[in-house]
């Protein structure tokens, strides 16, 4: 049969005939491959969407943690400032309340005289109380 006879007997053209033969021979496999490719593409799209959602959540968490860290730093600074203020106040009070050296010297001299004079402990304490009131 020549090409002209095939064309005359077949309602399809030569390229359509080749496609039909290819479909008969490989059609089932090609349809299976196409189905598998569609399934894989659908799975990839679904996974890409999941990755995008996870990236968004990760960015939100990072932002939230950054804010938490900034808040903690500020709390630490505030606490540090409070402690420093308390220490300054304590140092100021200690400076204001410290015993005068001259008074302490006089107190020790009197204590020495009392001990040297063989006074009782009650007399020494009474004398110290008397000096402290002065």
Per-residue pLDDT reduced to its tens digit, 66-108: 999 999 999 999 999 999 999 999 888 877 777 677 777 887 8
Which residue shows structure tokens 């399809």?
Answer: 12
Residue indicated by tokens 């040297």: 116
Give the mean pLDDT of 57-71. 93
Mean pLDDT on 104-130 = 73
SS3 2: coil
Instruction: Report the residue count for the chain.
Output: 134
- Indicate whether this model's pTM tops 0.75: no
What confidence score (pLDDT) does residue 15 get? 83
């Amino acid at each position: 049969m020549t090409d002209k006879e095939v064309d005359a007997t077949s309602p399809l053209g030569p390229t359509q005939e080749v496609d039909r033969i290819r479909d008969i021979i490989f059609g089932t496999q090609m349809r299976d491959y196409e189905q598998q490719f569609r399934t894989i593409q659908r799975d990839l799209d679904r996974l890409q969407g999941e990755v995008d959602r996870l990236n968004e959540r990760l960015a939100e968490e990072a932002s939230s943690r950054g804010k938490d860290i900034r808040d903690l730093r500020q709390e630490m600074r505030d606490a540090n400032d409070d402690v420093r203020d308390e220490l300054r106040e304590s140092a100021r009070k200690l400076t204001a309340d410290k015993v005068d050296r001259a008074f302490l010297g006089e107190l020790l001299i009197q204590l020495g005289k009392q001990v040297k004079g063989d006074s009782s402990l009650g007399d020494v304490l009474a004398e110290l109380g008397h000096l402290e009131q002065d």
